[in-house]
Amino acid sequence: METKKFTADQIDQAADLIQQGELIAFPTETVYGLGANALDETAVKQVYAVKGRPSDNPLIVHVSDFEMVKQYVNDFPEHTKSLVEAFWPGPLTLIFNVLPTTFSTSVTGGLNTVAFRMPNNQKTLELIKKAGVPLVGPSANTSGKPSPTTAQHVYHDLQGEIAGILDDGPTQIGVESTVLDLTAKDGIPVILRPGAVTKEQLEHVVGKVMIDQHLISENEAPKAPGMKYKHYAPDVPVWIIDGDQEVFKQAIEWAKSKQQRIGLFADDQITSTFSADVAAVFSFGEESVEQGTKLLFAGLRSLDEQDIDVIFAQAFPESGLGIAYMNRLKKAANQKILKIDSIFE
Ligand code: TXA
Ligand code: MG
């Protein structure tokens, strides 16, 4: 099948294809999603097939407004209204108990709950409105690869497999939405996946918020089933470098002594200092966690395509957006971190 690129004035055509059960990748503020009619089980199954995604991993249902969610949920937890008002449209996914027999088990993974999100992208909101149905939308990458933050990334992974891509340029945030479970019996919301809406921002609106144990301990069973799979990983090994220029220097010398060709993902200052010592660099610009997060997946993808043996990627402190950045980077690195103490031990 030919994968067609749709522009803003062709949203009607893309919406028609969704209604016909075809798959269309769509832009959001976080990453590109792989869209299909959430009420069409055959189309949803095709999403899993195209991504190569384990089918016990439930999908997020994307809506164009909160009214759409009311068709599937009749009992909203107390914080729903304030969360929707504060963060929708935006990078916050909310999990509710759904009415039975609304979505197929392909969407729910067999759970009684469904994750809903209203993305902050005008073209995609228009696509959902025109299609007239909610869309499932896992990240539009081959399962296990870094999530796509440009239409080119989607094309690279899925060309020939899907009907089209709605192109809206690079995404702004760069990592997937915060997933918040509102179904706990004690009523306290639980973060299942960290994202750009931080715990502090949520607590400002609803009071106490918990972080699911799997974010802290690797040994607990994850509640967001997607968290258990190795994600976001390039083909070459990734090491996180947690420290100042001296730590980068030691790490680079160590890799060079082993004849390893290094790809460096870091800010302008670090990449310019070491550009002569490594095989490839990808700078995310100024030293800011927003910039690092925005370009993390693009950087990993770009370095992975070059002739290198290892990627060294810059750490950020684990607070605010840094929690989401480090969560994705640790998965890509399979938890491998070089710190000053581990080098000088
Ligand atoms: O930013 C995003 O959320 C992107 C864009 C495209 O919207 N979408 C995305 O979807 O990341 P996906 O399917 O790759 O991630 C869904 C996550 C998985 O970790 C999944 O296990 C979890 O949400 N999830 C979905 N439904 C759930 C449910 N009912 N209970 C617990 N976790 C759920
Ligand atoms: Mg994904």
- What single string gives the DSSP state of each residue in 285-310? SSS-HHHHHHHHHHHHHHHHTSS-SE
Q: Is residue 253 part of a domain?
A: yes
**Residue range 144-203, pLDDT digits in tens:** 889 999 999 999 999 999 999 999 999 999 999 999 999 999 999 999 999 999 999 999
Assess: ipTM above 0.95: yes
- Domain final residue, candidates 184, 199, 228: 228
**Whether residue 73 sits in one domain with residue 44:** yes
Q: How far apart are CA 89 and CA 336, in angstroms?
A: 35
Q: What is the pLDDT of residue 225?
A: 60
Residue 220 binned pLDDT confidence (cut-offs 50, 70, 90) = very low
What is the domain count for the chain?
2
**Average pLDDT value for residue range 326-338:** 90
Q: What is the pLDDT of residue 217?
A: 47
Q: What is the pLDDT of residue 85?
A: 98
Residue 219 binned pLDDT confidence (cut-offs 50, 70, 90) = very low
**Whether residue 163 sits in one domain with residue 54:** yes
Is residue 30 in contact with ligand 1, taking CB distance under 6 Å? yes
**Average pLDDT value for residue range 286-302:** 98
- C-alpha of residue 54 to centroid of ligand 2, in Å: 11
- Domain final residue, candidates 228, 251, 279: 228
Q: Is residue 47 part of a domain?
A: yes
Is residue 28 in contact with ligand 1, taking CB distance under 6 Å? yes
- Domain final residue, candidates 175, 198, 228: 228
**Whether residue 155 sits in one domain with residue 42:** yes
Which bound ligand lies closest to the C-alpha atom of 57?
1
User: In sequence order, which ranges of the chain are alpha helices (DSSP H)?
Assistant: 11-19, 41-51, 66-70, 80-87, 105-108, 122-131, 151-158, 199-206, 245-257, 268-274, 289-304, 321-332, 340-344
Q: Could you list the residue range(s) of the whole structural domain that residue 190 is in?
A: 4-228
Atom of ligand 1 nearest to the CA of 111: 29
**Whether residue 72 sits in one domain with residue 50:** yes
**Whether residue 18 sits in one domain with residue 117:** yes
- Which CATH number covers residue 11? 3.90.870.10
Nearest residue (CA) to ligand 1, atom 9: 138
Is residue 199 in contact with ligand 1, taking CB distance under 6 Å? no
Atom of ligand 1 nearest to the CA of 30: 1
